Each structure stands twice: as C-alpha cells, then as structure tokens.
Amino acid sequence: MHRQAVDNDASEVERIAAAYARAAGGDTWAALVQAVADALTDLAEAERRSLRRDQLISRGYVRGAVLDTSERA
C-alpha cells in the first residue's frame, strides 16, 4: 500500500528515496549510504565550479582594471 502511494502521490524526495532503495535491492542502509555519497560528490562538484567561477570573475576584474587604466592614459 505504501509503495503505491509513493508511486502515485510521492514528493520528489520520496521518489528519489524509492529509486535508491530499488537500486539497492531494498537494503535501506545501502541506499542511504549511496544517497549520501552521491550528495557529497555533487556538493564537491558544485564547490569546484563555484571556485572556478570566482577565479574567472576575479581575473576579469583585474583585466578590466588594467584596460580601464590604459585607456585613460
């Protein structure tokens, strides 16, 4: 009965949890461990992208300051 409710009226979180549980063959501990591992991997990737974006923005400001200074001279 619960499985049917999850399939029909589930929130996104419940659908994701059910998918992890199915992938783990019903082993809820393995499903939890995999979900946390995936979340940490995604977080690390997001942090890497954020740092890279910040570096590019900083480099752009430095280049912009050099160009602005030379144009005034």
Residue 57 pLDDT:
81
Does the pLDDT at position 13 exceed 70?
yes
Q: List pLDDT tens digits, range 29-68.
A: 999 999 999 999 999 999 999 998 888 887 666 666 555 5
DSSP 9: H
Instruction: Tell me what pLDDT residue 46 has.
Output: 96
In this predicted structure, what is the pLDDT of residue 1?
41
**What pTM, to 2 d.p., does this model score?**
0.60
Say what the pLDDT of residue 16 is: 96
DSSP 38-55: HHHHHHHHHHHHHHHHHH
The count of residues in the chain is: 73
